[in-house]
């Protein structure tokens, strides 16, 4: 039992200064002045929330938890995600995916990695398949994977408009989407299709054609990397205005990527969406964590490979608040209530009675100070309290 006193609560909607009581991994109450009398039967751990903003634990909906990359040869395969790499960034729920490589990495390994992170204390889900269609699955079928494997909530990331994609035909694409949709319906999951958008000139043409020529609704698609260049972003703003969901990819060094690749940083992109009147439920932000990021200098020469990190999420939120004057409660939606709603993670993304006790406390600079995952304190004073099995505690 844990009681957080006098924190400024963002549900993500601003709720004022409140106490939050955690019981058995769930949020038991959010109220003024909660008092617990246990007559000594059990200890109540109190956390002083004064000066802190209490927000839902972040949902990072696109992470290569098993590692990714490899496009520059075997030595460029990226390492697996670590527990504290996620928790110190405020992430309490992660959605894992494969990437370009669905051969040397496969779905069983991805599922095992997701289960490992769950055992270590956070919540995990995965997408079935990789960049390519037809998808490589666990059971042999997309629909069956979603229906029988608890952790599989959809398919992805399927690559389109990219030289690394399998160049799926329209028929292959809509069949995969329909399999995911029906599998999701039959199992009460989102069955969403997470779509990697490359920088090819076809942009989101396949999605637009599927919407024009089939009965599949727009809510079935979650295109990601929508901000990778200005032209693609413009197309995706229009798409969002018609009710489509869009996922921004955060960046560890947004100045660099803005300058070299024309990437639209989240804060500026979100400002634009708000000006355009896009539905505030329809945008998300993910890290592409552990994905490889080939780095080129100003002369467009290859200089090395970086790795995506979940820490880009809070950096992006801070830019929204401090540079673009976007309310914290609006920016927060991108990593809390919106991905929870879009991915149908019903106990996630909100500070409300009955929800999982996934909570971050942010300090006055909006840095992640304390992180609680399903009721357990994982990070305190910006330092991990809980480490992954093979993590170096020094």
CA distance 79 to 289: 10
- In the complex, least distance from residue 288 CB atom to Zn ion, rounded to whole angstroms: 6
Distances (CA, A) of 238 to 125, 277, 278, 324: 30, 11, 9, 21
- In the complex, least distance from residue 225 CB atom to Zn ion, rounded to whole angstroms: 6
- In the complex, least distance from residue 182 CB atom to Zn ion, rounded to whole angstroms: 25
132 binds Zn ion (CB under 5 A): no
Number of residues binding to Zn ion, judged by CB under 5 A: 2
- In the complex, least distance from residue 340 CB atom to Zn ion, rounded to whole angstroms: 21
CA distance 384 to 54: 18
- In the complex, least distance from residue 300 CB atom to Zn ion, rounded to whole angstroms: 21
How is 8-54 classified by DSSP, letter by letter? Answer: EEESSSEEEEEEEEEETTEEEEEESS-----TTSS--EEEE-TT-EE
> Which residue has the CB atom at the shortest distance from Zn ion?
196
Catalytic position from the list 101, 145, 179, 288:
288
Residues 271-300 that bind Zn ion (CB under 5 A): none
- In the complex, least distance from residue 54 CB atom to Zn ion, rounded to whole angstroms: 32
Axis-axis angle for helices 266-275, 312-324 (nearest 10): 50
Question: Given the complex with Zn ion, which of 10 and 266 has the nearer CB atom?
Answer: 266
Residue 187, φ and ψ in degrees, nearest 5: -120, 5
- In the complex, least distance from residue 157 CB atom to Zn ion, rounded to whole angstroms: 5
Contact 373, 87 (CB under 8 A): yes
Binding mask 188-217 for Zn ion (x = CB under 5 A): --------x---------------------
Contact 348, 358 (CB under 8 A): yes
Question: Given the complex with Zn ion, which of 68 and 349 has the nearer CB atom?
Answer: 68
Question: Given the complex with Zn ion, which of 252 and 363 has the nearer CB atom?
Answer: 252
247 a catalytic residue: no
Question: Given the complex with Zn ion, which of 56 and 69 has the nearer CB atom?
Answer: 69
Question: Given the complex with Zn ion, which of 157 and 263 has the nearer CB atom?
Answer: 157
- Region at 188 (left for phi over 0; alpha for psi -120 to 50; beta for the rest): left
CA distance 168 to 183: 21
Residues 135-174 that bind Zn ion (CB under 5 A): 157
- DSSP annotation of 289 reads B
Q: Provide the strand spans (E) within the chain.
A: 2-10, 14-23, 26-31, 45-48, 53-56, 58-63, 91-96, 123-128, 152-160, 192-197, 221-224, 246-249, 283-286, 292-296, 302-307, 359-362, 368-373, 376-380, 383-384
CA atoms within 13 A on the CB side of 10: 22
Question: Given the complex with Zn ion, which of 61 and 347 has the nearer CB atom?
Answer: 61
Strand 359-362 to 53-56 pairing: antiparallel
Question: Given the complex with Zn ion, which of 132 and 196 has the nearer CB atom?
Answer: 196
Q: Would you please indicate which residues are annotated as catalytic (active-site) residues?
A: 288
Residues near Zn ion (CB under 5 A) are 157, 196
């Amino acid at each position: 039992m844990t009681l957080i006193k006098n924190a400024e609560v963002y549900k993500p909607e601003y709720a004022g200064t409140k106490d939050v009581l955690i019981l058995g991994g769930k949020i038991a109450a959010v109220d003024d002045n909660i008092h617990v009398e246990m007559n000594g039967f059990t200890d109540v751990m109190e956390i002083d929330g004064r000066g802190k903003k209490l927000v839902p634990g972040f949902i990072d909906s696109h992470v290569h938890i098993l590692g990714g990359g490899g496009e520059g040869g075997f030595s460029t395969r990226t390492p697996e995600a670590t527990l504290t790499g996620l928790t110190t960034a405020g992430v309490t729920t992660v959605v894992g995916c494969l990437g370009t490589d669905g051969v040397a990495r496969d779905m069983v390994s991805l599922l095992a990695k997701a289960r490992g992170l769950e055992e270590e204390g956070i919540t995990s889900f995965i997408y079935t398949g990789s960049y390519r269609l037809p998808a490589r699955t666990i059971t042999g079928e997309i629909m069956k994977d979603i229906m029988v494997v608890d952790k599989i909530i959809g398919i992805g990331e399927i690559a389109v408009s990219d030289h690394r994609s399998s160049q799926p035909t329209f028929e292959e694409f809509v069949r995969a989407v329909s399999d995911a949709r029906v599998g999701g319906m039959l199992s009460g999951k989102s069955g969403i299709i997470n779509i990697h958008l490359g920088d090819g000139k076809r942009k989101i043409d396949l999605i637009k054609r599927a919407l024009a020529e089939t009965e599949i609704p727009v809510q079935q698609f979650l295109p990601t990397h929508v901000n990778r260049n200005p032209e693609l972003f413009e197309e995706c703003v229009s798409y969002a205005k018609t009710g489509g969901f869009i996922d921004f990819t955060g960046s560890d060094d947004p100045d660099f990527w803005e300058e070299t690749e024309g990437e639209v940083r989240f804060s500026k992109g979100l400002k634009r969406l708000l000006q355009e009147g896009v539905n505030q439920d329809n945008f998300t932000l993910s890290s592409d964590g552990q994905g490889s990021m080939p780095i080129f200098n100003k002369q467009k020469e290859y200089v090395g490979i970086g790795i995506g990190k979940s820490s880009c999420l809070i950096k992006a939120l801070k830019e929204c608040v401090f540079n673009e004057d976007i309310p914290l409660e609006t920016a927060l939606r991108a990593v809390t209530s919106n991905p929870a709603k879009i991915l149908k993670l019903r106990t996630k993304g909100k500070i409300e009675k009955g929800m999982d006790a996934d909570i971050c406390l942010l300090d006055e600079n909006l840095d992640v100070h304390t992180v609680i995952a399903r009721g357990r304190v994982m990070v305190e004073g910006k330092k991990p309290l809980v480490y992954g099995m093979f993590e170096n505690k020094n």
